Every structure is written in C-alpha cells, then in structure tokens.
Amino acid sequence: MKEISINELIKILKKEKQKGAETVFYKGTLVSENGNSIIITTERQYLMKYFTNLREMNCSSEYNDFLESKLGNDLFISEPDRASRIADGEGSTHNEIIEDFREYLNSLKVKSEDDDENFDITQEVYDTIESDINSCEEWHINNGSINDIAGV
C-alpha cells in the first residue's frame, strides 16, 4: 500500500485541478495516522481528459493513441493517397490533420446536464478546441497552404 501525507494528497488534487479536472475520483482506502479509515469507492472508471485547448489535445497521449490507430494499416483502405504519402515519408496535408483533429474531438463525450459524471470534456473545452481548429483551418485557407503537406 502506498502511503502519502494529507499535504501530498492536497498537492496531487491541486495539480489535477490545474490540468483542468473538475472532479477527481479515487478508489481505495484512506487511513489516518490515528488508525481511522475512510473507504472511498466509485463505479466510474472514466476520467475527464486533461487538455483545455488544441495544443494540449494535440500533445496528449489519448490523441496520439487515436492517430496511431487511424494511421495504421486500415489507412491504405480508407485513405490510400494519404497512406502512400506517409509511407513515402512525405506526410499528411494541413487539411487532413485538421480533419483528424475534428474527428477526434467529435469522438469525445461532452459533459451534459443529463449526465454530469461520464464525460471526457466540458462544453467550454469543446468549444475552445473547436474554435482553435476553425482558426487553424481559416489561417491555412487564407494563406493558400490548406492542401500543402505539413512541415514541408
């Protein structure tokens, strides 16, 4: 069993709040130094994602897992031109990357009034990321680079 002080627990909770968590769920037993214990359990296993904007989403392990799955072998069936470019070391276009952002964002469950426990992100975070994606797309359209390969 891992032991932590109350001050360490408070630091952990503050860090989670800074990452955007509105609620932290813990499953286990808290035992005080005097031997009193409090058992805390929850059925909820799904925690809110810890990103608040497009940059953080893009750097998240969840988004990277999504991309690994999307850009795997099935890409040769679903998007053969893109798969060929990636296999040749050229990469994806800005438009394809923006569409990946949208697809992942739309796969997340947004907190609703009917279900405020099982969600990935809040509506506010969803709207912020959607706005970031739209701004990115608008910039590339205005600069004529929407269909250019990213990083080239």
Half-sphere exposure of 28 (CA within 13 A, CB side): 9
- Domain spans, the chain: 6-40, 54-142
Cross-strand partners of 29: 39
Measured distance CA(52)–CA(147) in Å, rounded: 27
* Helices of type H across 19-146: 54-59, 61-70, 75-78, 80-87, 94-107, 123-142
The pLDDT of residue 128: 94
- List the one residue out of 32, 16, 20, 42 whose CA is nearest residue 125: 20
User: Would you say 148 and 48 are in contact if contact means Cβ atoms under 8 Å apart?
Assistant: no
Residue-by-residue DSSP string for 1-31: -----HHHHHHHHHHHHHTT-S-----EEEE
What pLDDT score was predicted for residue 85?
Answer: 92
* Residue 47 pLDDT: 43
pLDDT tens, position by position, for the chain (152 residues)? 566 666 776 777 777 766 766 666 555 555 566 655 554 443 333 345 678 889 989 988 889 889 988 888 788 888 999 999 988 889 999 999 999 999 999 999 888 777 666 778 888 989 999 999 999 999 999 999 999 999 75
